Chains A and B, each alone.
Chain A
Amino acid sequence: MEKLLQIEKLETEFTKDKQALKILHGVNFHINKGEVLGLVGESGSGKSLTSLSIMKLFKGTSGEISGGRIQFNDQDLTNISESDMRKIRGKQIAMIFQEPMTSLNPVMKIGEQLLEPIRLHLGLKEKQAKAHAVSILKKVGIPRAEEIINEFPHQLSGGMRQRIMIAMAISCNPQLLIADEPTTALDVTIQAQILDLMKQLQQKENMSVLLITHDLGVVAEMCDRVVVMYAGRVVEEADVFELFESPKHPYTKGLIGSVPKLGQKKEKLDSIKGNVPDPSNLPKGCKFAPRCNNVMPICYQEEPPDLKLENGRSCSCWLYKEERGDICV
């Protein structure tokens, strides 16, 4: 399969009071053309920051990529200029966000906001641009598209607004769509509709999707492959079926164990004890060690390497060192 995006040893940090605070510590994964990749983790694991790093959306923060590569097609996004990056944002890589209520500008009409990327990236004239906007709105299942473009965001429901966000994102036929918790803020019934829509559009347009979520139900439904992040690192990467079938990393096991299953007769759900560590005060060795059920002495000493396992899986855990110690990367 052809790779669309390859992230290697990505490091991103913030600066506060002249001190650098590293949040992403060498993130590695890739996205193939036409696949949906799930990026999973608790809040604070660095999954959103990974997506912002791909888009290099750091304006107004002190965030900065301090190492690694982001290979997109034949370009390394980490060292292209801001003006070249702007040509990629919205055109080749588009993004939708968690909060449909606040992600649209409250004082601009829907049409005005939707036309912005269309005019900018497709160079269409007024009339064609408008026609294109209406056709995109219809594509995302918005009724009375011609009227909606003259309305303001507050006149629409959350689900409708998220559809608008999707319309805006796909309006320039991007190769990669990054969706950061796109359904978290929506009602359950609306969630399913939006996910359906995304899946359907992805297949029709043969787009790649990076779906960021903490909801494993969403992952199971939508994704082809899954990357699990913890404390700014990728701890496991696997095909979606294999991941749910046989999770390797204790953290992944914990995540899957904490999801209620139908027909399960357990008194209590498994939960992962403790909290995500503070990025300014990370433990030595494996970052998950203090919360791990299978912890070994070495886990407190040294960070586990990224181990390549069978079927293209990988896992960063000392438990599998014995198995695959020879193919350590």
Chain B
Amino acid sequence: MLQYIIKRILEMIPILFIVSILIFFFTHLIPGDPARLVAGKDATLEEVTIIRAELGLDKPIWEQYGSYMNHLFHGNLGTSLKTGLPVMDLFVDRFMPSIYLTLFSMVWALVIGLLIGTLSAVFKNKWPDYFGMVTAVSGISLPGFWLGLILIQIFSVQLGWFPTGGAEGWKSYVLPSITLGAGIMSMLARFTRSSLLETLKADFIRTGRAKGLKESVVIPKHALRNSLIPVVTIAGLQFGFLLGGSVVVETVFSFPGMGRLLIDSIAFRDYPVIQAELLLFSLEFILVNLLVDILYSFLNPKIRYVA
């Protein structure tokens, strides 16, 4: 088991390395001269040259990458061009709120998605199924930003139950989490349904019934546990959807997180921040998929014993 985990972690390293190169070079393709941006519109050519040297932008790009990686290994993510602050400082306040937001979204999406998917499968072609699947196909078709705006309008502006934005207290997480999780919830519901329908055809389900077990035991204990294996995999892949969606949702809710910072930085071409953000996002995504693989091997005893 440990061997398996170590192997997966080792496999991550080259991918992360290539990702870092790609991000570094591509952010340098962003049009516009950062030195000029920092120096301001009225700066003289000399001033710009000095700033360029200060930023290390006059060196060959390979050298820049080398020093970038060197800084990275020392925990230095660079300095924001816009604020002049270390990128790390910008991240400190924003990182955890974003993590909470994605976590809350994932958790409710998983719970409700599994519930709807299970009910739909158990009551196949009856009204809970129709209801569940109409909800789910609507959920994957809803533009997240639109849903967010409508929720704000109803629950913040008209009913005043939740704040319209910010990240203070649990109340400010409710609407953004609902918005962000809606799509994933729907996908998981659809996937759980089809996976469970497949499992319910299995011979061991008949064995369980032949033992005299109730359906309320057969379905959660025998069927769902087997169906969970592919559902967990999908949930891991969908995590990327959450990260992308968080950019939109954080913008809608003026949520002080990593996603909004990314949009703000793109507007300013603050590429050290963009670089660090993209790197962090892909690291998160890769880590989550690693976790999913590990969880998967716990759920599936066959894999557990192969290692």
Contacts and interface: CB of A to CB of B under 8 A. Distances in A.
Bind each other: yes
A89 B209 contact: yes
Interface stretch (A55-63, A141-149, A222-230, A234-242): A55-63
B286 interface: no
A54 B301 CA distance: 34
B171 interface: no
Interface stretch (A14-22, A96-104, A186-194, A299-307): A96-104
B302 A154 contact: yes
Contacts of A91: 212
A105 B221 CA distance: 10
Contact of B301 (A89, A121, A152): A152
A106 B203 contact: no
B226 interface: yes
Contacts of B225: 105, 107-108
Contacts, number: 78
A105 B206 CA distance: 10
B209 A120 contact: no
Contacts of A86: 212-214
B201 A152 contact: no
Contacts of A104: 204, 207
Interface string B201-236: 111111111111111000001100110010000000
Contacts of B208: 105, 116
B226 A106 contact: yes
Given A60-B200, A97-B203, A99-B203, A106 B301 contact: yes
Interface string A136-168: 000000000000000010110000000001001
B300 interface: yes
B226 A105 contact: yes
B305 interface: yes
A165 B207 contact: yes
Contact of B204 (A57, A89, A105, A117): A105
Nearest to B306: A154
Interface in B253-281: none
B201 A89 contact: no
Given A107-B225, A152-B301, A121 B212 contact: yes
Nearest to B305: A155
Contact of A97 (B200, B201, B207): B207
Contact of A60 (B201, B214, B221): B201
A304 B302 CA distance: 54
A60 B203 CA distance: 12
Contacts of B215: 59
Contact of B210 (A89, A108, A152): A89
Nearest to A52: B206
A168 to B, nearest CB: 7
B212 A117 contact: yes
Contacts of B201: 60
A152 B305 contact: yes
B299 interface: yes
A108 B223 CA distance: 11
Contacts of A105: 204, 207-208, 222, 225-226
Contacts of B212: 86-91, 117, 120-121
Contact of A55 (B203, B210, B226, B299): B210
Interface in A44-59: 55, 57, 59
A201 to B, nearest CB: 18
B307 to A, nearest CB: 14
Contacts of A207: none
A155 B301 CA distance: 10
A107 B300 contact: yes
B210 A102 contact: no
A94 interface: yes
A315 interface: no
Nearest to B201: A60
Interface string A263-299: 0000000000000000000000000000000000000
Interface in B6-46: none
A133 interface: no
Nearest to B215: A59
Nearest to B197: A60
A95 interface: yes
Contacts of B221: 108
A117 B212 CA distance: 7
Contact of B226 (A59, A95, A107, A165): A107
Contact of A117 (B203, B206, B211, B214): B211
Interface of B: 200-215, 221-222, 225-226, 229, 299-302, 305
10 contacts: A57-B210, A89-B211, A91-B212, A97-B206, A102-B202, A106-B204, A107-B301, A108-B221, A154-B302, A168-B211
A-B interface, 6 closest residue pairs, ranked by CB to CB distance from nearest: A90-B212, A89-B212, A90-B211, A102-B203, A152-B301, A105-B204
